[in-house]
Amino acid sequence: MSGAAIEIALGPLLFNWSAERIADFYAAVAEESDLDRVYLGEVVCGKREPFISGPLAEAADRLARAGKTVVWSTLALPATPRDRRGIAQMAAGEGLVEINDISALAHRPLGAPFVAGPLLNIYNEAAARELMTRGCVRLCPNVELSLPAIGRLAQACPGLEIELFAYGRLPLALSGRCYHARVQGLHKDSCQLVCDRDPDGLAVRTLEGQDFLAVNGVQTLSHGVQTADLPIADLRAAGIGALRLSPHTGDMLKVIAAFRGFSQGRLSPQDLAAQVREAGPPGPLVNGYLHGRAGVDWAPAS
């Protein structure tokens, strides 16, 4: 395991981007980036799905033609019968899927391979083994877990691939309530999809103007941008087999290239952080969770 290359994966787009932006983004990813796997699918809000399903299907074709593995991701908090049907349909298919809500397991054929996404609550080896008996081949652990905790989990689950949430605003919470709508004085059912105004989420500051969080429809993310700048040997030792980069504005191709270089040992943790900053992330870099601290903390590699 320690000699194998660490994969680079692009997580599902969490934000409500326009069809044009989605098409341009994945065209560039397909043709100009060096990565192994791309997750596609609406994870946050089923109301967006009709508007993006076309562009995502085209992106899937394009990415597959470019040799990238495409994995479809399910919704994380199904809220309507239509949401539930969408999850059922995706889970019942034969291809590899990423599951983000337990309801998908009711429809997944036993033993059919799946990825357990970071929005599932898998915090320990006993829970991970439960999913492995049902077909789970890869786990992207919940972002709250420290690297040592992930290492203990991985060690107790031989054969389970571990994908670390390595770049992007941290997905912190899901709600039945839409905060984008609430800020605009709208109701979720008549939200006018106002979340499309904020391609990295809507800034939430404290009353003294300190940047803190970002809201994205029913989801709340961190303002800080997770950057897994730990020594690559430490990541390998913890059993990390893939690094997940979450799409944002800014130069994602540069972020992807930086993590590829880092995973291959060509870029030091310091160089990685410097390159990521140059790519225009939507907030300051954070990595506290990986060190077992508050997620907002930043402990630069020494």
Partner 1 sequence: MGSIELVCPAGSPAMLRAAIEAGADSVYCGLRDETNARNFPGLNFSPAEMKAAVAWAHDRGAKVLVAVNTFARAGGVDAWRASVDSAAVAGADAIIVADLGVLAYAHAQHPGLRLHLSVQAAAGTAEAIAFYAQAYGVKRVVLPRVLSAPEIAALVRQTDVEVEAFVYGGLCVMAEGRCALSSYATGKSPNLTGVCSPPDSVSLEETDGLLTPRLGGFMIDQVAPGAAAGYPTLCKGRFEAEGTASHLFEDPTSLNAMALLAELRTAGVRAVKIEGRQRGKAYVARVAAAFRAALDALDRGETTAPYEARLTGLAEGGRETAGAYRKTWR
d(CA 185, CA 143): 31
**Cβ pair 117, 99 in contact under 8 A:** yes
Q: Which amino acid is at 19?
A: A
Span from 30-38, 187-195, 250-258, 276-284 in contact with partner 1 (CB under 8 A) = 187-195
Strand order in the sheet with 136-139: 136-139, 114-116, 97-99, 69-73, 37-40, 7-10, 240-245
> Could you say whether residue 139 binds partner 1 (CB under 8 A)?
no
Span from 41-49, 151-159, 241-249, 250-258 in contact with partner 1 (CB under 8 A) = 151-159
Comparing CB distances to partner 1, the nearer of 121 and 264 is 121
Residues within window 192-211 making contact with partner 1, judged by CB under 8 A? 202-210
Encode burial over 67-103: b for 16+ CB neighbours within 10 A, e otherwise: ebebbbbbbbbbbeeebbebbbebbeeeebbbbbbeb
Residues within window 26-55 making contact with partner 1, judged by CB under 8 A? none
Among 66, 113, 129, 137, binds partner 1 (CB under 8 A): 129
Which x/- pattern, by CB under 8 A, does the window 225-264 give for partner 1?
----------------------------------------
Residues within window 50-109 making contact with partner 1, judged by CB under 8 A? 76-79, 84, 87-88, 101-107
Among 92, 212, 237, 277, binds partner 1 (CB under 8 A): 212
> Could you say whether residue 159 binds partner 1 (CB under 8 A)?
no
- Write down how long the chain is: 302
> Could you say whether residue 125 binds partner 1 (CB under 8 A)?
yes
Comparing CB distances to partner 1, the nearer of 105 and 273 is 105
Residue 295: Cβ-neighbour burial (10 angstroms; 0-12, 13-18, 19+): middle
Among 135, 251, 293, 301, binds partner 1 (CB under 8 A): 293
Question: Minimum CB separation from partner 1 for residue 116, in Å?
Answer: 10
Cα–Cα distances in angstroms (integers) from residue 202 to residues 43, 181, 206, 241, in the given order? 18, 11, 13, 32
**Cβ pair 214, 252 in contact under 8 A:** no
Q: Give me the helix-helix angle, 125-132 and 147-155, nearest 10°.
A: 50
Comparing CB distances to partner 1, the nearer of 51 and 212 is 212
What sign for the dihedral angle of Cα 93, 94, 99, 101? positive
Q: Which two tokens stand for residue 90?
A: 């995706």
Comparing CB distances to partner 1, the nearer of 167 and 289 is 289
Span from 12-20, 123-131, 229-237, 249-257 in contact with partner 1 (CB under 8 A) = 123-131
Comparing CB distances to partner 1, the nearer of 71 and 128 is 128
Among 149, 228, 230, 273, binds partner 1 (CB under 8 A): 149
d(CA 298, CA 241): 23
Span from 212-220, 242-250, 258-266, 268-276 in contact with partner 1 (CB under 8 A) = 212-220
Among 111, 158, 176, 302, binds partner 1 (CB under 8 A): 176
**Cβ pair 56, 25 in contact under 8 A:** no
Cα–Cα distances in angstroms (integers) from residue 72 to residues 146, 252, 253, in the given order? 27, 20, 21
Comparing CB distances to partner 1, the nearer of 79 and 96 is 79
